[in-house]
Chains A and B, each alone.
Chain A
Amino acid sequence: MRRRHLLRMLPIILICLTLGGCWDSREIEDRVSVIATAIDEKDKEIVLNVQVPIPKNVAGSGSQGGGGGKPVQTFTGQGMTISDAIDDIHYKANQRVFFGNNRLLIIGESLAKRGLSGVLDALGRNPEFRRREFIVVAKGRAADFIKAKPDLEQVPTEYVLTMLQNGIRDGLYIQEGLNDFYIDLTNPGNQPVLNYMSVKGKDVKWSGIAVFKQTQMKGILNRAESRSVLQIRGRERGEDIDTECIEKPGMISFRPREVKRKVRIDKRKGHVVFHITLTVKGAIIEKTCDVNVDNKKTLEELSHRIASKYEEGARQTLKKVQGVFRSDSYRLGNQVRAFHPSWWKNMNWGDDFAKSEISIDYKVIILRSGMKSG
């Protein structure tokens, strides 16, 4: 009997709910769905540029052919805080701006140098922003990124995203999304780094990594300099390396396939000493000189050369990171924290990193030399 009462009540309740309800119901086409957000500063104010794809103009998705008009629209907002700037955009857009599909955050260089604490706080509190987002630092103004128009993809952000995804998968770029950035900030043994990208006309280019000390950007490591950071920090393979041939003019190109890292930690006179050994396995992919690479001895000689080339670059980078930036981009402090907690307690890694001694040794193993012999 009671069941029947409930059955009778159910439609009434449903009707009540429909009358008052649907608070969160907002159709997908009624949302301005942001795909990329560029954050800049201008006269101590935040300037927000958001890129919104126009669904019906993006080819393949429209029901009426599509592909006609321009594929994206840009909105700009300005304000004292991020939320202020978002509100500013709200007043410019005909529908609610929705960040749930945002995939890329671009930070202007000058803002990054001033510090990102405010930006990160706003992003962390807003549930619409996901932690899986890509975040990069732009050379110059971030807004230029939003306006770049590569030909390969209709939506420029898609181009940058694919570029980042592929670069990270190949081990060429640093793997640091918003989530990693947050984690590196809170973990005192780590310091965040971000991919640093530049745009010129239609071309978007990866031009190194931006080194942060906490939320503040300290400087840039260019492509060659970033190699050792990539290898030590994330065991990524880094880009190909060229070295001079043995005794003969010409070059040899080596492509790393796999990097193994070994860190030994000691303590000497109150300083932490790191012995880092990196084993790089890879292949020769090009040679422009007359050397027989089938010879075991030559190969050994070559691998020594490549290793010393690596080491030289690594030392220069280390000098810059330790001396100029004074920020642990290698994530070495995390190892101290994990394995030597008693030392860690009495240390202030922010200062102590610069004082620690770090030695980097490379061991290169040439696995093969391509499809040709000789």
Chain B
Amino acid sequence: MRKRIRRRRESRKQNILQKNAEQKQKAHAKGASISSDIEPNLVYFETLLGKERSSDLNVRRFTIQYTTERKAGLIYMDGLSFCPGIDEFLLEPLMLMGRTLDVKKDLMESVMNSLLQHGEVKPTDNMEKLVDSLLSGDVLVFVDGYPEGIVVGLKGALRRGVGEPRAEAVVRGSREGFVEAMRINTALVRWRLRDPDLRMVGLTVGKRTKTPATLAYIEGVADPNLVLEVEKRIQAIKIDGILESGYIEEMIQDNKWSVFPVIQNTERPDSVVAHLLEGKVAIIVEGTPNALIAPAVFTQFYYSPDDYYDRYLIATFMRFIRLISFLISLSLPALYIAFISFHPEMIPPKLSLAAAAGRATVPFPSIVEALLMELSVEILREASIRLPGPIGPTIGIVGALVIGDAAVSAGLVSPLMVIVVGLTTISSYATPSYSAAISVRLLRFPMMIVAGIFGLYGVVMLYLLILLHLIKLRSFDVPYLAPYTPLRLSDLKDSLIRVPWPYMNQRPAIFRTSNIQREEDVKSDGQQQQ
């Protein structure tokens, strides 16, 4: 019985698919090129998008009062285009002002010149281009008798306004963050970098989503090979849809299996500009409030924009703090296990007494205890992201406090372990970049496991393996651990220590910039252009 239903359902599906395909094929066959007759063109779009089943498709047929009544059509996607503008700047002139036109002149030319009152107006006879423009929010205008369509760039989908970057907060510095609209994002960059050499290469990725992306770089600063390589890799992407810059990131990165991020993502326009000035390239993707920056080195994920805005000593101090918190978040639970179950002689006697007392009621070995606690913290962290709006942080804190306290008083974990877990979790949030922080959180688990097997020795061995991986890792041919290994003394100015700005007059050499001097840059460029 059920089988029969399934079969019937299957055959129905096949039928529909076949019908749709036939229709589309018919439309294609007819409208592969634009006919001078208007109706087939409009019908073509109606069939292509499935008029009955695409409620947001708007096809308006009207007449232009020229010498005679000339049929015309206007197509747009409801919601993607700026509707009041269509009425005011397109339909009103087209319908009412036809008579005012000079009869001697060509209708099409007149329409373009005086009736379409908008800045971006392009006639084209390429059907594919028309379809793409329609779907990205442009308005198409057809006039009977002319085998071409006019694309009017009246994109006007409602978008979130520019807001504060949520994941990359700074104390001092710009409060603007990227939004989903790529054009706003590129504007945010261009507005900060008024350099005629700034290039924004438009690319389209994704067979179905046809997501526009922008490859930004500064000509004369970024390594041309790097730009070519990035462009090549983006163009080589074979995927049906790009919903977030993360898709592109994974498609173009060098080592696809690495835990560590080799391409940085940021939602701060100022940070993008800073990286562009260092000779890197940025990729801004439509629909994503995160821009990608490539190449990226390991240390870059531990630098925050405020490092460059605050005074150098404070910045240096903060970087030391972040280094310490990186080490804590990677290895503190592992060290706890190693010390508690392998080398108790290494803890001061009073502390070891306290640790022993705290653990007296704990039924598990320290490795299980640590894994348990770390896992529950991860669950809390994940849950507090998913929890709706304002209650998220509350639940997170309450959960941690209540569960931690209850676990200690129930004798399930030792108080020391709660301190360790708390410190570890807090430390991991000291990393400015979320993607780097999360990979360290992940590595903590193998760290704990080897500590549970070999103690301190295991921790050192795993550190060595991680180091090996980091050394082998490359991001667009830049060694991931640069400038530390291979050592670049000149680049150490902006490493753990950030020297004052007047002394950072050179761009980092590791990114193979075409112009190493920061301040001579403008001068020489000016000469070039004259």
Contacts and interface: CB of A to CB of B under 8 A. Distances in A.
A and B touch in the complex (CB under 8 A): yes
Interface of A: 3-4, 7, 14, 17-18, 21-22, 24-29, 31, 33, 35, 53, 55-56, 58, 60-63, 66, 98, 100-101, 103, 128, 130
B341 A28 contact: yes
B366 A27 contact: yes
12 contacts: A18-B452, A22-B452, A24-B342, A24-B455, A26-B341, A27-B340, A28-B356, A33-B356, A61-B356, A62-B357, A63-B409, A103-B349
Contacts of B449: 14, 18
A100 B344 CA distance: 7
Nearest to B415: A63
A80 to B, nearest CB: 27
Contacts of B206: none
B359 A28 contact: yes
A3 B257 CA distance: 9
Nearest to A7: B257
Contact of B341 (A18, A25, A62, A128): A25
A26 B268 CA distance: 49
The 3 closest A-B pairs by CB, nearest first: A100-B345, A55-B357, A61-B354
A4 B409 CA distance: 45
B224 interface: no
A22 B450 CA distance: 10
B354 A35 contact: no
A143 B356 CA distance: 25
Contact of A29 (B350, B359, B409, B415): B359
Contacts of B352: 28, 33, 101
A25 B257 contact: no
Contacts of A27: 340-341, 359, 365-366
A372 to B, nearest CB: 41
Most buried by A among B354, B357, B453: B357
B353 interface: yes
A66 B357 contact: yes
Contacts of A53: 353
A103 B348 CA distance: 11
Nearest to B348: A101
A61 B345 contact: no
Interface string B388-422: 00000000000000000000110100110000000
Given A22-B452, A27-B366, A33-B356, A128 B345 contact: yes
Contacts of A29: 356, 359-360, 362
Nearest to A55: B357
A98 B342 CA distance: 12
Interface string B506-526: 000000000000000000000
Contacts of B355: 28
A6 to B, nearest CB: 10
B15 interface: no
Given A29-B356, A29-B359, A101-B349, A4 B257 contact: yes
Contacts of A98: 344-345
B454 interface: yes
B209 to A, nearest CB: 30
B212 interface: no
Interface in B360-382: 360-362, 365-367
B500 interface: no
Most buried by B among A22, A53, A61, A128: A61
B137 to A, nearest CB: 43
Given A101-B345, A101-B349, A128-B345, A60 B354 contact: yes
Most buried by A among B340, B345, B355: B345
A98 to B, nearest CB: 7
